[in-house]
Chain A
């Protein structure tokens, strides 16, 4: 059987990522635990991406509201605008946009940072200094991205809903209280929880891909650039694939 070109490389890469992921689970739950490095990463990762996540969330909320209004007027359900926007943001726009921004900002910086540490032998230097670089660099970063992304999604959702509130108020007036009652009355368990749960998977994917690309960077500065670049490409793609899986799973579980 003849396989299409690059299939071989794709399968090899997928295998290597799987092996890297299983090494993560083996190393993460065994001492020594790198608490300080982990907390430091949480701070850096959360802090670095917050302004960008906030800004994009705000714009998405505002724009989405303005785009939806004409259709809702056509159907004579303009009063449902807050409910519609709320559901769109919480279920899909918030987690996915935040994860994509996160992949662009954090995935690339992890890929570049670990890549340059690899090519300048800093990872080897850590290893000969009594430190397991996988635990110190990879485990801390992946745990930090996994835990920080859901928090960023929550903050992003809140800012986005505020943007949407302003959007609603451009053409009509609604009190802040009424708006939020309308948004939250229409949200159910099945809207909130799956969206929150999938954010953990998005965060994990961005972290593990960034670390994998950096850790396996090839020699030279060109290798570092490639690592950063493919960390973003593969990370973002994985976010969409996980989103697709998440919607199927929630559907099967009857949570939709």
Chain B
């Protein structure tokens, strides 16, 4: 690991429980994310990966347990405090969640204008163009999301996530549904931007190539708990029959 051991913890999850009716999704999950670290969470489809990061950003409310982000306990915040904290957390949605009634520019301006009401037009324009240049798509600024390819939409979504320069980024399956070459490009872009802005991130995925390229450490989510954690190579070399199928 690249010297993250002694860094401060920016996100801590302790003993997290979440169920929907009789469907117990998380059963005492634990996680600690250090500053500057890229942590991958690997799990089967339907294992509760999205539920986990939606609890972190306050889209879902956990049944039990504690989530501390940048020193603040998520569950104790009121709506205003939560909105302020959310500026520092970026979320890349699995389905991109680009607003299809808005142009690319309006999509990127949305978080700017909604969070900080005082941003003026010149400043907004600069930030939008910078964010688009970061993902290499400055020429799409006046297009509608429907006119773009899947890989381009993912880049635009990434630009929108980064426009507020968050300290922590939560990636929900950033490469799912993309072809292998585009997946590789997106993974490299994630690495590049992570270095440029020195963010910490949680990468939810079941794409081994993406995890190998982007993460420093990984956690295996099985039956609602952190079954095993370690580096990619450690887990890959494991002789545990529960872990092995994930690397086949």
Contact = CB atoms under 8 A, between A and B. Distances in A.
Interface of A: 113, 116-117, 119-122, 124-132
Contact of B59 (A113, A117, A128, A132): A128
Contacts of B58: 128
A128 B100 contact: no
Interface in B71-92: 79, 83, 86-87, 89, 91
A129 B114 contact: yes
Contacts, number: 48
B59 A127 contact: yes
B231 interface: no
B93 interface: yes
Contacts of A125: 91, 93, 97, 99
Contacts of A113: 101
Given A113-B101, A122-B98, A125-B93, 4 more contacts: A117-B99, A120-B95, A121-B93, A126-B99
23 contacts: A113-B101, A117-B99, A120-B95, A120-B96, A120-B97, A121-B93, A121-B94, A121-B95, A124-B54, A125-B97, A126-B110, A127-B59, A128-B57, A128-B86, A128-B89, A129-B111, A129-B114, A129-B115, A130-B83, A130-B86, A130-B87, A131-B114, A132-B79
Nearest to A132: B79
Nearest to A127: B59
Which bucket holds chain B's interface residue count? 20 to 34
A130 B114 contact: yes
B195 to A, nearest CB: 24
Q: What does DSSP make chain B's interface, helix, strand, loop or mixed?
A: loop
B54 to A, nearest CB: 8
B174 to A, nearest CB: 14
Contact of A122 (B54, B83, B97): B97
A130 B96 contact: no
Contacts of B86: 128-130
| Complex A-B, nearest 8 residue pairs according to Cβ-Cβ distance, in ascending order | A125-B97, A121-B97, A129-B111, A130-B115, A130-B114, A121-B93, A120-B95, A130-B83
Nearest to B96: A120
Contacts of A132: 79
A108 B83 CA distance: 32
A122 B91 CA distance: 12
B128 to A, nearest CB: 14
Nearest to B102: A122
Given A122-B97, A122-B98, A128 B114 contact: no
Contact of A124 (B59, B87, B114): B59
